[in-house]
Every structure is written in C-alpha cells, then in structure tokens.
C-alpha cells in the first residue's frame, strides 16, 4: 500500500473498513507529518494529538463491534481538522483572533455533530484569519497559512489552513466555510477542489447570519472526496431559515461524466473597475474552454451581469458580519486593523440602513442568478491573480487599501454568495515560473441546487486532465 497520506479520503475510509489500515496508525502518521511540516505551512492553529488518538481508538472499538452486514459510518477512522471558526467542545476556539487565544468551546454546531457521527478523527483546528474576514490567512494568533506549492506565497483565506493541510498531505480532506469565496480562494491557491454549496444546502445551526452569505463546504484533492464529504455535511437542522430538502441521491453518485451535452457560459471580465486578470490565469481559462469544447460541450461568451456600484451593497453587510462577534470590553484595540476598520463602519449604520443594504444585496444576487439560469454551468477564473507573497495583500497601515487589494484579487467569487448559488473551484492549470509551479483554479457555478451537475462536470474534467497525482514540493 502507498503511504497513508497518498491515499484519497475515500481510499483511507475503505482501508480502515477492510482492516488494511488501523485508525491509530493513520492518526499517528498524520500527527508525525504535522509535526514535521506544519511549522513551514501554518495549516493548524491547534493540534489535538491526544484527542486524535482517543478518537482513533474509539473508531477501532466501533469497527470491532460491528454486527454482520452492518455498514460502518462513512468517515470512520479518517482524520481531518475543523476550521477554527467552528467550535468543537473542549478544544481551543480562537476564531483566528488573539482576543480569543485561550477560549475553549463548549457547544458543538450541527456540522461538527454530523462529522462526529460519520466517525471523523479530529486532528485539530485549521488556521483562519480573524473572524474569517480576509482573503488571506494572516493574524496575530498564529503564523500565516502558506501554499505548499511555494511557501513564500499565501494559502488564501479564510479557509487557508484547511487548504494548506489537504494540499500538503497533513489531512486527506477538510471542511471549510465560504462567505465571499473562502473555500474557493484557498482551493485555487493550493491546487484543490473547493465546493461552495447552495444557500441552505448545509445547515449553519446554531449560528445566525441574516445576510445568507456564508455556508460550509468541502476541500479535497479529488472530486469524489469532495462529494463524499458534502454527503456527510449536507443534512438540514430543525428551524434552518434557508433549509433545502435533503438530496434524493448521494452527491457521490453524481461523480460520473454528464450524460448529455452541456451549455456552458463563460466570462473573464471582472465587474470591478480597473481590475485586470493575470495573463497566466487567462491562458488556463482559454485552455479550459478548449477542453470543454473537446469534450463536446457548447461554450458561449456571456456578458458580466454585475454593474458599476453593485458591490456597494456587499461592504456594509460584510462590515456588520465583522461586528457580530462580541469582543470583551477594553480589547477592541487588540483586533487586526482590517477587523477594526470593518467594525467601525458597522457602528455607523442604523437598522434601516442595514436592512436596505441586505435588500440591495439580494437584488444584485437575483440579477446574478437570472444571468446563470440559461446555462448548465458558468465558467470564470476563480481568482484574477496568482497567489501573492505573504503580506502583499495585507496592509495594516491602510485597511481600506487592504480591502481593495483583496477585491482585486478575488472579483469573481462573492457574486455566488450574494446569489446563494453553488460554485466549485477546480485545479485545471498551472503557472510555471522561476520559483516553481503554482496552481490556477477555474470556477464553475450553477443554478440553485445544482451541486450534482457541477460534480458531474467536475468529474469529467478531472478524468480528462487528472490533477490529484501532481503534488507540491513539500509532499
């Protein structure tokens, strides 16, 4: 058998079920790799070594007591982290902030309970920026998260730690969360599959987000692993405000090429004035278009549906999200400058102004959804630029310039959150430079609830241009 970290998540789960690989052996293997490689990459804020070994031993006991014909839970004995925006009882829960460096969570949200029920072994808490706000993962509570393809460059944000862990073989897959691109941005930076599901597909319970922007989803090396992790996570909770009925088929069952010719729209023109797309990104975009045509799909250029000023609704809503986390009295000054800048803006809005901003955001989202409706999928680059060096986007002296730089880096991702539509980033190209190869993600979005079709198309593209065996130098 290959080294355990070289196996896909699904192959690891099968090896555990078949007795080829003991959960404790698997956990110990990942803990050794984390100890060796994570100081370079900053993938983890907290490593739960004792908890991982306890979880692995419980998985072994559960396997030993399965009745004849009884199916094992789908992730039994499979190790992975949970993003440090998401609490796990008894584990340090920093929210990416030095203000909460010593906080320990008491209550498990719905998705953590689902992962526990599926048999996950918890490796720790993956790195995230403060409150999950920036498109980079840099904070004062831990080291920056770096892409394993070039550790001088960012892993993206806000699920940067999760992506760095999976790409470097420090976890087989990982859940992330995405309020403006926070799964797809690091997926592109780290050469992974990153799926943002439709609004309501994955429960946010017990958290409240009246904007409807954020949703949890999978990061993985393969489409099948991403689909299998989504199968675990996509279960509604009572009272979900945007609940969708459970899918009639598993997402894993959609991992086959489409059985018909698809109509794919494409655009690479950002709606943000003055933003130019890197020529290497455009080269991969054109190569992806050629591949779609080669596979028999119809590809048509479409106009950018967003207009000048449409983004004006996003910033105040994002600012209020930044302000929703209560900070102990006297500790606001310890927050990152970007966080304080957003929270200061939120303090200036009254309830009526915020309600109007949410309404405007929904109006823009509907226009984006109307533009997507005629197509089976819409192709765009995931990012406008290659992953920048650590610290290049961050600007503590000028948070407004910091925010503008993030927007120029990520102009294609947030509209899918505004509309609540699914979108997946796929590592369909590579930029070769003097410092080595850098992954370039291409994004496919679809109509509300069309995760199955996106996974089908992603499977076809993965089969045509396999990427899982292309591994970073630290591997």
Q: Please give the chain's pLDDT, 475 residues, in tens.
A: 689 999 999 999 999 999 999 999 999 999 999 999 999 999 999 999 999 999 999 999 999 999 999 999 999 999 999 999 999 999 999 999 999 999 999 999 999 999 999 999 999 999 999 999 999 999 999 999 999 999 999 999 999 999 999 999 999 999 999 999 999 999 999 999 999 999 999 999 999 888 999 999 999 999 999 999 999 999 999 999 998 988 889 999 999 999 999 999 999 999 999 999 999 999 999 999 999 999 999 999 999 999 988 998 899 999 999 999 999 999 999 999 999 999 999 999 999 999 999 999 999 999 999 999 999 999 999 999 999 999 999 999 999 999 999 999 999 999 999 999 999 999 999 998 766 799 999 999 999 999 999 999 999 999 999 999 999 999 9
Domains present along the chain, CATH in parentheses? 94-108+130-464 (3.90.1300.10)
Strand partners, 124: 47, 81
Q: Rounded to an integer, what distance in angstroms lies between the CA atom of residue 20 and that of residue 4? A: 11
What is the DSSP secondary structure assignment for residue 174, as one 8-state letter?
E
Compute the residue count for the chain.
475
Catalytic, out of 97, 158, 211, 425: 158
Q: Indicate which residue of 126, 159, 182, 198 is catalytic.
A: 182
Structure token pair of residue 350: 């009254």
Which pairing describes strands 193-196 and 423-433: parallel, antiparallel, or unpaired? antiparallel
* Residue 4: closest CA among 24, 26, 23, 32: 26
Q: Say if strands 263-266 and 377-381 run parallel, antiparallel, or are unpaired.
A: parallel
Sorted by sequence, the CB contacts under 8 Å of residue 301 that are 6+ apart come out as: 265, 266, 267
Q: Is 177 a catalytic residue?
A: no
- Cβ atoms of residues 25 and 71 within 8 Å: no
Q: Which helix (H) or strand (E) holds 362?
A: helix 351-372
Alpha-carbon Rg for the chain in angstroms:
21
> Cα–Cα distance between 262 and 375 in angstroms, integer?
8
The answer to whether the CB of 266 falls within 8 A of the CB of 468 is no
Q: In whole angstroms, give the CA distance from residue 159 to residue 153.
A: 15
308 a catalytic residue? no
182: annotated active-site residue: yes
**What is d(CA 156, CA 145) in angstroms, rounded to the nearest whole number?**
8
What tokens does 452 get? 């199955």
Cβ 311 vs Cβ 407: under 8 Å: yes
- Structural contact between residues 234 and 215, judged by C-beta atoms closer than 8 angstroms: no
d(CA 224, CA 462): 10
């Amino acid at each position: 058998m290959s080294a355990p970290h070289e196996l896909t998540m699904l192959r690891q789960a099968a090896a555990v079920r078949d007795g080829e690989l003991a959960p404790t052996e698997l956990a110990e293997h990942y803990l050794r790799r984390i100890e060796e490689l994570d100081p370079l990459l900053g993938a983890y804020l907290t490593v739960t070594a004792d908890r991982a070994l306890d979880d692995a031993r419980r998985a072994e006991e559960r396997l030993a007591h399965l009745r004849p014909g009884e199916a094992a839970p789908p992730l039994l004995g499979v190790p992975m982290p949970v993003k440090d925006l998401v609490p796990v009882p008894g584990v340090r829960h920093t929210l990416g902030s030095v203000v909460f460096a010593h906080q320990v969570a008491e209550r498990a949200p719905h998705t953590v309970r689902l992962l526990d029920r599926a048999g996950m072994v918890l490796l720790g808490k993956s790195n995230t920026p403060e409150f999950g706000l920036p498109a980079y993962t840099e904070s004062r509570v831990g080291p920056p998260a770096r892409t394993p393809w070039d550790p001088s460059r960012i892993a993206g944000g806000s699920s940067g730690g999760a992506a760095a862990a999976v790409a470097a073989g420090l976890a087989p897959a990982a859940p992330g969360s995405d309020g403006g691109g926070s799964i797809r941005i690091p997926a592109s930076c780290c050469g992974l599959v990153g799926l943002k599901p439709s609004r309501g597909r994955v429960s946010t319970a017990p958290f409240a987000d009246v904007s409807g922007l954020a949703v949890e989803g999978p990061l993985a090396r393969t489409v099948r692993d991403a689909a299998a992790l989504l199968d675990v996570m996509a279960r509604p909770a009572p009272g979900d405000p945007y609940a969708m009925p459970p899918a009639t088929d598993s997402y894993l069952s959609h991992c086959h090429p489409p059985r018909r010719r698809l109509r794919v729209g494409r655009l690479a023109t950002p709606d943000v004035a003055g933003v130019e797309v890197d020529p290497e990104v455009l080269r991969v975009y054109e190569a992806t278009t050629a591949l779609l045509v080669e596979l028999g799909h119809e590809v048509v250029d479409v106009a950018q549906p967003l207009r000048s000023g449409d983004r004006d609704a996003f910033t105040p809503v994002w600012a209020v999200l930044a302000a929703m986390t209560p900070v102990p009295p006297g500790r606001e000054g310890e927050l990152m400058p970007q966080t304080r800048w957003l929270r200061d803006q939120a303090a200036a809005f009254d309830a009526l102004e915020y309600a109007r901003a949410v309404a405007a955001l929904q109006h823009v989202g509907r226009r984006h959804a109307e533009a997507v409706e005629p197509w089976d999928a819409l192709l765009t680059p995931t990012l406008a630029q290659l992953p920048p060096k650590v610290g290049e986007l961050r600007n503590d002296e000028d948070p407004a310039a910091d925010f503008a730089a993030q927007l120029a880096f990520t102009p294609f991702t947030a509209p899918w959150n505004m509309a609540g539509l699914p979108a997946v980033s796929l590592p369909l190209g590579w930029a070769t430079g003097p410092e080595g190869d850098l992954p370039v993600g291409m994004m496919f979005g679809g109509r509300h609830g069309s995760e199955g079709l996106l996974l089908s198309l992603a499977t076809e593209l993965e089969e045509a241009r396999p990427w899982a065996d292309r591994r970073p130098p630290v591997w």
